[in-house]
Amino acid sequence: MLKQGSLTKQANPPTGTIETISAGSWSVTQAALAGAGLFLLALLLRLPYLGNFMTIDEIKWVEGAGQFLLALNSGHLADTYWHFHPGITITWIEAMIFWFHYLANGTSNLSTFVVEQLADISAIIGLMRLSPVIITSLGIAGVYWLARPLLGEWEALLGAGLLASDPFFTAHSRIVNGDAGTAIFMMLAFLAFARLWQNHRRSMAVLAGVMAGLAMLTKIPGPIILPWLLGLAVIGTLRDKQWRFWLTAILLAGVTALLTFIILWPALWVAPVETLQLMFHDSFNVGEIGEGHETFFLGQISNDPGWRFYPYAIAFRLTPLTVIGLAAVLIWLWRGRRSSDSTKTYLVVALIVYMAYVFSVANISPKKLDRYAMAVVPAITLLAGTGLIWVLAKITHFLKGRAVAQSLSLPLLIGLIIIVQTIVAVTNYPYLLTYYNPLLGGFTRATEQVPVGWGEGMEQAAAWLNARPNAPELVVSTWYSDMVKPYLHTQTASFSSNGQGQLQADYVIFYINQSQRQKPNPAVFNYFSRQEPAFQVSYRQVPYVWVYPAPAMQIKATGNQKIEGRAELLGYSWDSAPPLAAGTSAHLTLFMSPLGQLPDNETFDIKLENEGLLWGEWIPDSGSTWQTDSIVEWGGELHLPADSPPGEFRLVVRLMDTNIDAEVTRFPLEDATVIVN
């Protein structure tokens, strides 16, 4: 007969071991109440400040939900493909929320309603976030329920409780993306299939298949759970030699996963081949899965930070309690496992290997962000819960017979641990994504080591700009324009790769994530960051959102305005707008992006050209200096002689060799016209 894991009660368990306080099983009612409590804890932690601000990528997820709903309504089911993620589980619930919101508003036309709602996503983002909140809260209760017979009642309860209150996991459970949802579905599939080690109930293979299918529907890392289930089947075969059962189980799980994937994705009902081809194509051409992505790591910018990235980045996201629990479970494996049921040992080892497996697969792509390894978090908290219960057993054994022990009980200690972890999360509201492990230096150190910032605080910058007296006339440029636009009451300019859009604005918003990577390029970043910000948002005394005044450049240079090895002309501004008058002077500022060093014998000269003749004398400002790491403001006075003819002139910017007083080359400014009276 198969062992029943921690459901099997030892006759005389050794004192001070984990079995002393885990022996026996709870009633169904007790377990149901514990699961309900975990669900409520997870739900209540995820609801506060749910619609306060938006994060990167959420707009396309909400727009995808709108497309999904309209596709269902119109019958054009192929249009339920909206992204290569594919994001279908999150989108189904978003679409239902959209539908109920539509019914509550009593609007006659669904298409019009959806378009109106998508015009201001900031107003509905809180509602849309209920989708991942519901999925992960239910999933946490499921993790507890499935882990109970494998690890023990208390271990499963504490592990799931740590997951419910984990700041990193909670933060991603509160925003519309699929990382937390995928992680929870993968763990549910893992635990359901591992239950077959104890009892050959084919229903668990079916459940594992359903959860694997949901993981695959949620986000691209999901499919890696299928090879993992095969590995669990191999372990089961080695344990009980019943290879026919395990072959049947893995086939059953695989077929169920495939059916779940197809049944819940309407696009596959009408265009299966085309949808999968489009998904594969977009994964590499839109998502750039196989390509590098500039990532900040250990103070450096890299397109592929290497294998160390994920262990280090995830370590920054752990809480001290989780770290203690992980250390304790490793000690337990070394010293305490001999007195434990073998299923528990197998699962603990499997959870550790699973973490290494997720890290390894995530490391294949050079594109790296900490959330891409989210699937390790449920494994980490279950391991930490197991380790902490072992520590509590040692503590209660040590205190046995002492007065203080009378006031201590295991439920109380577990509750205190979960409360402490909950406080850690709550004290980081509303910006839970700013939590970083204090043992590694917290948020301050993280800004120097790993990518930081999801858009938190940008709405504060928008509020400050909206409060300016002339806000409707202001032009604002920001890197994350789609995310900030719903909050701004100003006009917006593009955030150009060469800086033209930023220079044309009145204000520019910079964010810590682009500061770490010096986006869009070092010259533009340095030009603004060397100024005093007009407004900034700080967290734990660390600035991470800056609003800089911009020069409101009047005229943008068009076409390819480059002199190779010297500079690119971005545009220019007059202190007093043309037309100019003969016999007068006008101040002109050129904005240039350096492409190399400017030799001592070279300078830029400005003239006006009319019918092939050059007019004017250029006297550069004494403060104009050449900086290769910043946008250069090349200013000066242009003096027009009194005999300058009236008419239309063309601005000419020449590179001069001062040794021979000769033109080297010029910017091809064909359309830069100036009227002279």
Q: What is the mean pLDDT of the chain?
A: 90
End-to-end CA, the chain: 103
Task: Please give the average per-residue pLDDT across 421-441, as a whole number.
Answer: 95
Task: Give which of 375, 363, 6 is closest to 168, Cα–Cα.
Answer: 375
The DSSP annotation for 537-567 comes to: EEETTEEEEEEEE----SEE--S--EETTTE
Q: Which of 484, 592, 497, 587 is nearest to 537 (CA)?
A: 484
Residues 6+ apart with CB under 8 A from 339: 13, 14, 17, 18, 19
Q: What is the mean pLDDT of residues 195-203?
A: 93
At 632, give phi and psi (nearest 5°): -100, 130
Contacts of 446 (CB under 8 A, 6+ apart): 316, 436, 440, 452
Does residue 572 sit in helix, strand or coil? Answer: strand
Task: Kindly tell me if the per-residue pLDDT of 35 is higher than 70.
Answer: yes
Q: What is the pLDDT at residue 452?
A: 95
The two tokens of residue 287 are 């998502």
pLDDT at 401: 58
Position 26 scores a pLDDT of: 81
pLDDT score at 404: 55
Q: What is the pLDDT of residue 676?
A: 82
User: Tokens 């269902």, residue?
Assistant: 72
**How large is the average pLDDT for residues 197-221?**
95
Q: Tell me, what's the pLDDT at 666?
A: 93
SS3 614: strand
Residue 38: the pLDDT is 98
* Mean pLDDT to the nearest integer, 155-180: 97
The pLDDT tens digits of the residues spanning 596-649 come to 999 999 999 999 998 889 999 999 998 778 989 999 999 999 999 999 899 889
Full-model pTM: 0.90
Mean pLDDT of 81-86: 92
Task: Show the CA angle centred on residue 562, arms to residues 557 and 567, nearest 5°.
Answer: 100
Mean pLDDT of 125-145: 97
Residue 226's Cβ-count burial label (10 Å; 0-12, 13-18, 19+) is: buried
CB 609 within 8 A of CB 602: no
Contact 92, 86 (CB under 8 A): no
Return the pLDDT at 2: 38
Tokens of 283: 């994964």
For the chain, give the percent of residues with pLDDT over 70.
Answer: 93
What confidence score (pLDDT) does residue 17 get? 42
* Mean of pLDDT values over 648-673: 90
pLDDT at position 372 over 60: yes
Instruction: Say how far apart CA 644 and CA 674 lie, in whole Å.
Output: 13
* Band (403; pLDDT cuts 50, 70, 90): low
The confidence score (pLDDT) of residue 227 equals 97
Model confidence pLDDT, tens digit, residues 210-254: 999 999 999 988 999 999 999 999 999 998 899 999 999 999 999
| CA 239/CA 76 separation, integer angstroms | 50
Closest to 87 (Cα-Cα) out of 222, 268, 249: 222
- Element containing residue 492 per DSSP (H, E): strand 491-493
Q: What one-letter code names the amino acid at 267?
A: A
Contacts of 109 (CB under 8 A, 6+ apart): none
Residue 56 has pLDDT above 80, yes or no: yes
Give the per-residue pLDDT at 13.
41
* Residue spans per domain, the chain: 20-50+129-272+295-426, 458-549, 555-676
Neighbouring residues of 251: CB distance < 8 A, sequence distance ≥ 6: none
pLDDT band at 287 (very low <50, low <70, confident <90, very high): low
Q: In this predicted structure, what is the pLDDT of residue 344?
A: 92
Nearest to 430 by CA among 450, 458, 465: 458
- 8 A C-beta contact, residue 566 and residue 596: yes
* Cβ-Cβ contacts under 8 Å for 645 (sequence gap 6 or more): 582, 610, 676
Maximal C-alpha separation, the chain: 112
Structurally, at CATH architecture level, domain 555-676 sits in: Sandwich (2.60)
- Note the pLDDT tens digit of each residue in 505-518: 999 999 999 999 99
How far apart are the C-alpha atoms of 186 and 180, rounded to whole Å? Answer: 10
| pLDDT at position 5 over 60 | no
Residues of the chain with pLDDT > 90, as a percent, come to 75
| CA geometry: angle 524, 527, 533, nearest 5 deg | 115
State the burial class of residue 623 (Cβ atoms within 10 Å of its Cβ: 0-12, 13-18, 19+).
exposed
Confidence of residue 304 (pLDDT cuts 50, 70, 90): confident
Inter-residue contact 217 to 265 (CB < 8 Å): yes
Residue 440 scores a pLDDT above 60:
yes
CA distance 403 to 67: 64
Distance (Å, rounded) from C-alpha 10 to C-alpha 31?
Answer: 21
Q: What angle do CA 182, 184, 185 make, to 5 degrees?
A: 65
- Whether the per-residue pLDDT at 138 is higher than 90: the answer is yes
Q: Is the pLDDT of residue 109 over 50?
A: yes
pLDDT band at 284 (very low <50, low <70, confident <90, very high): confident
